[in-house]
Structure 1
Amino acid sequence: MLHSKIRQYIIDFLVGPLFVQGQGVDRYQRRFQAVGYTDDPEEMKQYPVVILPSGFFDGKNYGTERSYPSLPLEQWRGIPILFGSPREEWSSDGRQVIIHADLIASSYFLLSRYEEMYLRHERDEQGCFPGKSSLPYRAGFIHRPIIDEYGYALREILISSGIADRYNLRIPERAKTFSAVHLTHDLARPYNYRGWRSFLRAWLKEKKNPLTALKLAFGSDKEDDYYTFPKFLKWDRELKDYLPKGVAHIHFFVKMPSRHQLDRPQYHPRSSYMRRVLLEARRVDARLGLLGSHTAALHTDRIGEERKAFERVYGQPPMGLRYSSLVACEPEDYLQALYSGFRHDYTMGYADVAGFRLGTCRPVRFINPNTRQLTELTLHPLILRDLTLSDQKAMGLSHEEAEQVASDLVRTTARYNGELTLLWHNDLLSQKTHPWHSVLYRALLRLIEEIDREVTDAYEEDSPLASY
């Protein structure tokens, strides 16, 4: 059976902690357990809302083929459910509802990345769990944060049934805008041509004129195709200044040296070029995180070594972790990150499909599916990544298609008061490298600003002070 600590965490994640309102403004006497997860007849009497277990967590099922959902999925209140049935039973007096849709097991399956533990054989050439092999993609809800939809449906039941009023519960409405916006940039290829190796590549391999090769390798930073930092950091800063204080954050994820072929090109984190790049980052108060290497993904203990190297170079701990190319998918990767001192991870998106890998657009604590333990590592959903949209090995979208997909995901995240995390690389923000990513990224930042403005204007119109 599911540990009570995780059970309560998932219930709170769905509906929020509920309190009985006491006397006076904003005073609460005690916490109230409005939602229970049990099939014990005596225990069921304690809760006005009961979710019936489907057997997913039983020892004979967990980790076996019986624990994997079969397609097509049934729907509860228009939302796909992975386990249970879509039935609801109300007591004759309307004071209790029993939900046969196992929302707890369905949420756990997605939040813990259970299927990636169960389907360990399902990996692509880089070692990633393919998004196109995932249940959300195959079942057609990768674009929906169905766990957040479960939560809204449960809150609606509490309110519309009169349960909230009967028990004097406070259920605050969640704002339909972003709880946070993370503008993240991985420094996987911070430059195109810098130094003697670049000179030899341009001259001997690319057959450029020697003088042209010298200019490319040793000219000013602004001459390099990939030096887009002043441009996009200006856009990031404008959005950060527009949104309420503390909502928007700018992150740079920086690599440490690695010999793995997929970690090329290598760059020295103390080079003069990198110092100039990071000076640009400091001007907009960007935070530095560690971009974990492919070597660290293959050998989990390496992530601790890379963290120590980061601290030696920059004199500060990394604010968080993201694995290069989003290669982390094993529970052991996240446990090692936790043991190495990380408390925030920004890897949780599929490399080949945009959408909600965790089934939610809100940050969630990592639940180890091997041990069924709740950890202190927070996973931040990665909603959009540039290469995922445009790479022919991924979605391979046109500009118009990518803008439609991206806009829908951004608006969905705002609708559920989610945390929007974007990943755009500096090299793809050069129009010499890619024809439309800089245009798309700029449009998305404007869209974020527009959504926030719409919500602010609507709030001011609804305010009781609006007519004064």
Structure 2
Amino acid sequence: MTEELLIYTQKITPRVSYVFKHIFVRILNIPIKFTSTIEEFVAHDSLKMTYAKAPLGNEFFIQSHGLLFEQGINDIEITMSQWDSTPCFFSKGKKSAIPFDIFAASFYLLSRYEEYLPCVLDENDCYPAEESIAYQNNFLDKPIIDVWAYKLLKALKEKYPEYQHQPNSYKYISTFSINQTFLYRCKGVIRNLVGGFYDFFTLKIFEVWMRIAVFLRIKEDPYDTFDKIISLQKKHNIKTIFFFLIANYTTYDNNVAFTKRKYHLLIKSIADYAKVGLLSSYFTMDNEEKLSKESDRLSHIINTPTKLSRQHFGRNKLPETYQKLIDLDITEDYSMGYLKHIGFRASTCTPFYFYDLDFEIQTPLRVHPYAFIDNTLRFNLQLSPKQALMKINHITNMVKQVNGTLISVFHNDCLSNFGDWKYWEDFYEEVLKCVKE
């Protein structure tokens, strides 16, 4: 059994408990216990540390910033520095075993403190990457909290050289957002006629032929790549999660009708091989009634309560969106990331629980941060498949170094070798080879 770390701090606040558990328990796999009793701490003759303004003696000591003992949102001045070659902030004095209060810094990033502050939102009314300190200080592509945690571990081992650490193991989770289940099939005569006329008058003759061939069942729908995805899941033994859009038709949510029997059968068949979650539609960010309806629809199709969700277009407004998910008993969210940039929105590659700064509590909602999306690589960064693989390899290596969890977002059309995804047919399998555990 792994040795327990005793932590002395003058006040065990919800913030202290939350961030220490993330760093020690979830990232480093070190069980911890808190005490505010000096006598208990002094009597403890094993692994221990102090988190306070000043040390009690010559123990392993980290000087605290005030953030974890505050409540509410305040305007905090952030001054970036370097810890060796690693960006960091909240620098501390020489008595501290490490030169920064990484617990306060990690809480700031993990709670998404900066997203509660005034900022200019993007075209989807979301917090843009460009506003974040991670983007502005060039560490968005690094799971910086996990990196800090392992630097902390190194310092702890120097203090306790006999300590035997048992690290976590690297994991990979492949997720698919299904917002266009089929390109032509199940979309009705009128939608296909309008689309066909548009293709014809824009001289997309091959697309016109494909549309007719699919309608007459001569050809399979280009986006029907589900058998291939499941086959690759089995071949590479990959944990896969599918998020299905089951919304009313809007400009932003233009999937096949959620009432279609073929769509229901597809979801049921996928649920036999992989986990299934809800891809919440565009307007659910501000509308709990819509979110509840869509959650109920999925529950009815798969005959089990909806527990996993992701927001379509990444429309995740903190804390309101997460509060709505919690009210509906959704326990796992996969929306933590940026649509136009690869990297780590919460600066960690380890799943964490959402901390609600409005109520100063750790919630039961587990957040799974993703690192990259196929669309971001293809359209926003405009990379070739080879260039995209190089980016993914870079991200993967960093996550492996800290024994984290790498989560990707793909779409079924990525495997279609059709339209914008021409010549990308083998990209997904190449990624699976690159990221394997």
Cα distance between partner residues in 1 of 2:13 and 2:352: 17
Amino acid at match of 2:107: Y
1:442 aligned partner: 429
Change (3 A) 1:427 1:197: farther
Q: Tell me if the contact between 2:142 and 2:344 (Cα under 8 Å) persists in the aligned partners.
A: yes
Please state whether the residue corresponding to 1:289 is helix, strand or coil: strand
Structure 1 segments unaligned to the other structure (5+ residues): 21-29, 90-96, 241-247, 453-468
Aligned length: 406
2:258 aligned partner: 269
Change (3 A) 1:35 1:334: farther
1:9 aligned partner: 18
Change (3 A) 1:171 1:51: same
1:250 aligned partner: 240
Cα distance between partner residues in 2 of 1:45 and 1:380: 38
1:457 aligned partner: none
Give the TM-score normalised by the residue count of structure 1.
0.79
For residue 430 of structure 1, the aligned residue among 376, 395, 416 is: 416
Residues 346-377 of structure 1: CA distance to partner in whole angstroms, max 9, x if unpaired? Answer: 11111111011111111011111333321111
Alignment of structure 1 residues 293-442 onto 2, 5 Å: 293-391=281-379, 394-433=380-419, 434-442=421-429
Cα deviation, residue 212, structure 1 = 6.3
Cα distance between partner residues in 1 of 2:11 and 2:165: 26
Taking only the aligned residue pairs, the percentage that are identical comes to 22
Cα distance between partner residues in 2 of 1:350 and 1:33: 39
Amino acid at match of 1:251: I
Please state whether the residue corresponding to 2:15 is helix, strand or coil: helix
1:157 aligned partner: 155
Give the TM-score normalised by the residue count of structure 2.
0.84
Cα distance between partner residues in 1 of 2:274 and 2:319: 29
Residues 198-254 of structure 1: CA distance to partner in whole angstroms, max 9, x if unpaired? Answer: 43124332226988654333426x5211111122221122111xxxxxxx4211111
For residue 69 of structure 1, the aligned residue among 78, 84, 98 is: 78
Structure 2 segments unaligned to the other structure (5+ residues): 1-9, 34-43
1:147 aligned partner: 145
Q: Tell me if the contact between 2:267 and 2:301 (Cα under 8 Å) persists in the aligned partners.
A: no
The structure 1 segments of at least 4 consecutive aligned residues displaced by more than 6 Å after TM superposition are 30-33, 208-212
Change (3 A) 1:32 1:188: farther
Coordinate RMSD, CA, aligned: 2.8
Residues 10-60 of structure 1: CA distance to partner in whole angstroms, max 9, x if unpaired? Answer: 22322333479xxxxxxxxx9977233221x4xx32783322233335659
Amino acid at match of 1:201: V
Cα distance between partner residues in 1 of 2:128 and 2:165: 38
Cα distance between partner residues in 2 of 1:402 and 1:203: 33
Alignment of structure 1 residues 179-190 onto 2, 5 Å: 180-190=171-181
Cα deviation, residue 406, structure 1 = 0.9
1:223 aligns with 2:220: yes
Cα distance between partner residues in 2 of 1:226 and 1:185: 13
Cα deviation, residue 127, structure 1 = 1.9
Q: Tell me if the contact between 2:281 and 2:311 (Cα under 8 Å) persists in the aligned partners.
A: yes
Amino acid at match of 2:143: P
Please state whether the residue corresponding to 2:347 is helix, strand or coil: coil
Please state whether the residue corresponding to 1:159 is helix, strand or coil: helix
Please state whether the residue corresponding to 1:357 is helix, strand or coil: coil
Cα deviation, residue 100, structure 1 = 4.5
Amino acid at match of 1:171: H
